[in-house]
């Protein structure tokens, strides 16, 4: 079966063609121009998706060696994400499905991330723990099957990636901040500043807003009156901040490993591209004799391969969406079943 996947939830336009379990084509166009605005501008994002989606589809078809008529199923992200951006991909996908008379599946973006480990050679085995760390979400999940996803914890305020982006802005690095913070942190001393890790009533929940404020206070206190922050101090702040985020993510994951019967751990989402987080997660899994699945960085950030894969599993479980399927602004709240 040849599945066409389309992803346009934020600032990446992506098209993938998955044939059974082989990825025949995967193209991603990142909207780098948002850097100039310090964050994603929704209207500009929608327009950029609209401009590039058709050429990107043609590029993917050419790479795959297939014709549109060879596609058997079309899957597109329907949310959560920026509503205008989502509507571009979703409407394009529905139009294709209608004109080609092929089945269509709308995919939840987070579910795409959760199962992105299946794009790797060594795949997750059920039941597994999934730590989803992206720009909009931080979720710890007990994944029992393709249809049973139990939520253990989530963030009560900022997402992990959002914290990286905000601290990056404070240090004058720009957007998106994750990779820039990581680069700076690699040159800094992570033990220089003791930034706090939040303690919450639900031991699987996360909070990064206090940490973000501590970084801000530290900068305001030590570099008052717009005093320039020396490069080496920026590196120490980035490293100490990164250490605090990673330790919060690992603390809850370790707690979940102790309390839930899981075969392995899967670390997914944009922040999973972070080298230190990947390394620390591998160490944690060795400690508990679990295997770990972390997608290659191409599949950590937003991509259509994960949408095609998730679309395929939904189709195989009997799901069919009609063309009334719409983009929902957000269904984060209580979307996954509580554990």
The binding site for ligand KG4 (CB under 6 A) comprises 10, 134-136, 161-162, 164-165, 176-179, 182, 269-271, 273-274, 301-302
Which single residue is written with the structure tokens 């770990």?
292
Distance in Å, CB of 197 to Zn ion, minimum: 24
Rg (CA), the chain: 20
80 binds, among Zn ion, ligand KG4, none (CB under 5 to 8 A by kind): none
89 binds, among ligand KG4, Zn ion, none (CB under 5 to 8 A by kind): none
Q: Give the residue among 139, 257, 260, 258 at the shortest CA–CA distance from 205.
A: 139
Tell me the C-alpha to C-alpha distance, in Å, between residue 299 and each of 3, 20, 78, 306. 17, 18, 18, 7
Check: CB of residue 100 under 8 Å from CB of residue 71: yes
Distance in Å, CB of 326 to ligand KG4, minimum: 20
Q: For residues 28 and 73, which CB has a smaller minimum distance to ligand KG4 in the complex?
A: 28
Site for Zn ion in 109-138 (CB under 5 A): 134
173 vs 314: CA distance, rounded Å: 40
Stretch that binds Zn ion, among 17-25, 159-167, 187-195, 295-303 (CB under 5 A): 295-303
Q: For residues 14 and 264, which CB has a smaller minimum distance to Zn ion in the complex?
A: 14
Distance in Å, CB of 249 to ligand KG4, minimum: 11
Q: Give the residue among 245, 246, 222, 224 at the shortest CA–CA distance from 234.
A: 222
Q: For residues 5 and 270, which CB has a smaller minimum distance to ligand KG4 in the complex?
A: 270
Q: For residues 242 and 313, which CB has a smaller minimum distance to ligand KG4 in the complex?
A: 242
Site for Zn ion, rule CB under 5 A: 134, 302
């Amino acid at each position: 079966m040849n599945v066409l996947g389309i992803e346009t939830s934020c600032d990446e336009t992506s098209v993938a063609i998955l044939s059974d379990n082989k990825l025949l084509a995967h193209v991603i166009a990142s909207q780098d121009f948002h850097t100039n605005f310090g964050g994603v501008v929704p209207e500009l994002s929608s327009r950029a998706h609209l401009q590039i989606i058709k050429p990107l589809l043609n590029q993917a078809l050419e790479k795959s060696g297939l014709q549109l008529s060879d596609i058997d199923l079309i899957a597109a992200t329907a949310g959560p994400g920026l509503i205008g951006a989502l509507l571009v991909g979703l409407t394009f996908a529905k139009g294709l499905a209608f004109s080609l008379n092929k089945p269509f599946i709308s995919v939840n973006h987070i579910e795409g991330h959760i199962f992105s480990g299946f794009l790797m050679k060594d795949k997750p085995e059920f039941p597994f723990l999934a730590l989803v760390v992206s720009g909009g979400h931080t979720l710890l999940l007990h994944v029992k099957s393709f249809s049973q996803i139990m939520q253990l914890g989530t963030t009560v305020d900022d997402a992990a990636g959002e914290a990286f982006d905000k601290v990056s802005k404070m240090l004058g690095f720009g957007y998106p901040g994750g990779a820039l913070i990581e680069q700076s942190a690699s040159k800094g001393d992570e033990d220089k500043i003791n930034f706090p890790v939040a303690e919450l009533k639900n031991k699987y929940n996360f909070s990064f807003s206090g940490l973000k404020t501590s970084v801000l206070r530290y900068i305001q206190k030590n570099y008052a009156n717009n005093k320039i922050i020396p490069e080496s101090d920026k590196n120490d702040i980035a490293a100490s901040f990164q250490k605090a985020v990673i330790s919060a993510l690992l603390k809850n994951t370790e707690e979940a490993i102790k309390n839930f019967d899981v075969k392995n751990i899967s670390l997914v989402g944009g922040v999973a591209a972070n080298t230190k987080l990947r390394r620390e997660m591998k160490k944690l899994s060795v400690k508990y004799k679990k295997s770990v699945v972390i997608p290659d960085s191409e599949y950590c950030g937003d991509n259509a391969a994960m949408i095609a894969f998730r679309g395929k599993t939904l189709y195989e479980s009997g799901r069919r969406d009609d063309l009334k399927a719409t983009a929902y602004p957000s269904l984060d709240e209580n979307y996954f079943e509580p554990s």
